[in-house]
Structure 1
Amino acid sequence: MIAKNAGALLPQDLISLNGVLKVCDMETVVLGAHLKRAAIDSEVVGDSVLCHIETDFSFRGRFAIPADWCLLGCLHDANNATGCNGTPISSGTAFTVFPGSVSEFVFGADSRASIMLVPLQRLRHKFAKLVHPDLDIPVRLLAMFDLTGSQLGTTLSANFEKVHQHLFQEPRADAPASLIEKELDILLENHLLAGLSAQADDRPQCSRGRRAHYQIVQRAEYYMRENMRRVIYLDELCKAAGVSERALRYAFDDLLGLSPNRYLSMLRLCTAFRALTVADASRRSVKSVALSCGLWDLSRFADHYRHTFGELPRDTLMRAPPAETTAPSTAREIAYS
């Protein structure tokens, strides 16, 4: 489990950040080359996992929920860079992520979110009790909805704040497991009720222009990932995205606040970090990892790496790689594997 830090923002590496969602293989790209600080923690409660994260830096991430799980969450605080699948989201937004597709998001600096991972069957059972046993869960209605316009939303926001308080502010030994489990069941029920009752105006909207920018960034990033081993020129990205250089730059600036080349540099660095963390030092070298990510100038790579992650590449490589994991069948297997 991730070490509890009493809510203080402390230096964190990407592995700690990627481990927040536990059952998911989350991949992140930081959007600024400075030492990252965050308050992150998680705890298994019954068959579910509670998570909370606060950061002082922006990052882009993507993950997929395993087939038997779903994710509920609330964005307590967010800046205007925060978004999901191209749709901008603000403070007081709740969200639900179902299995079956990759979710992409930007978590802006000085943002704060509480998350609950639950077995999908548990959500279905609760929905059947509240609505109808023969109906399917309306996924689109629960995807994202604002909590600030209704009493149900206010109540749900308070439920998620209790998750934060439990993880960071309350002595956990003083809270009986049965009481926490009951509170989470109430949160699950309120999440469904608030999402199903939300009106069209309560759901974040993505303009046609922003949707176009998201698709441009997606196509360009896919090309970056497919060709990371070699030099990638801006005109290649324009061709891959099907737009002019001006349109490409504008799309990246709008969604990520970075130029395409700057994002490519951060993507290379974060991919190298991820590879070094899981590499066997007796089989791979810093040089081989760097070259596989298209980082040809090794001295410059080491300098940028230390500036971004607070350590040299060889220090990351020499750390023992984390145990290989697969999506577990229960939450408790995750925490103690």
Structure 2
Amino acid sequence: MSIDIAGLRPERVAVVPSPLAELGMALHALSEPSHHPGLQGWVTSVTAGLDPHLADRMCEADFLWRTTFSDLFLPCAGIPGGPTLPGATLAEELDLLDKLTDEQFADAALEFTCALPYTTPGPSVLDDAELRRRALELAAARGPQQLRFSKRLLDDPPRIRAWLRQFLEDCDEAFFADVWHRLRHQLAADARHKTDLLRHKGLAEALTAVSAAVKVDEDGGRITIDKLRQGHSVIRDRSLLLVPTSLGWPHLMVLHRHGWQPVVHYPVGSPELSAPPAVDQLILRMTALSHPVRMQLCRNLARSTYTTSELVQIHGMTAPEISRHLSVLKKAGLITTRRRGRYVLHQLDVTAVARLGSDFLEALLR
């Protein structure tokens, strides 16, 4: 994913925590705890103490936060005539949510259940009969509960907006106020740190600190985010907003909706000890292991070191064939080689292979 930052002035970059965005990540973690193993204790505690009526309402609209992160949780990005920053309190952010038009609200709410244009201008689902039909068809495929909610949204957007605001306020009273009181100082400190980097070291230094998956080409005027999806946004006369999240790891979200301010929603305090491999490297490794001969070679190399000649004898292949397969594994970073006298010994990097599962899952969720 890329963001065109040609002409972006330093003062047009802001790092600000968002209580509404953090509430959105809290709802996502409660709905998909497998994405956030580090929060399992918190999820269990909150779920056990949740009022049954609130839990039912949480399920009613969970498509806004279960699959991924709805842009409705960053309404400041959609306010026309910006830049608009997130509010300091949840109430201020809910006021910003109220300022979105019904068309903006409905299109963002149905992003995951309707094939609406995202990066290009297009008709609103409230105005286009074919988009409405398609939205309800896709909602029906996800169950009667989502179909009912989608019908209510399309028929009476103000009613659903009021419902959502009341629901979020009830979540704040039930569990989120305590969470935000605990996390807001950490997020504010991270925002101050990134702002200092922006002022004294520049945009590239600040974004490198945001995530190892973010690269900046200031000469080319582009930010690139290493994710398993495609997307492009252009700053032009708008601003770039960076929003830290404590509950969000491993998700690195990029809001690039047409007409909205671009936002990078990034996790702080990541538990990873080292930067995960890039998506291209992950694909290279999985492709290398997809060949049956290379899998057989890995079986040997996981147990001991072998020379090319020994592998030729074991597998009944020619030396050039074995060398080609070893070269693919080495290029993918899956084997190590070392010289002992006139012999070159190959061995599987067990740690790299063991990380493949977690690397793959993190790349999917990033």
TM score, norm. by length of structure 2: 0.27
If you compute each CA radius of gyration, which structure gives the higher value, 1 or 2? 2
- Name whichever structure is richer in strand by fraction: 1
- Name whichever structure is richer in helix by fraction: 2
TM score, norm. by length of structure 1: 0.29
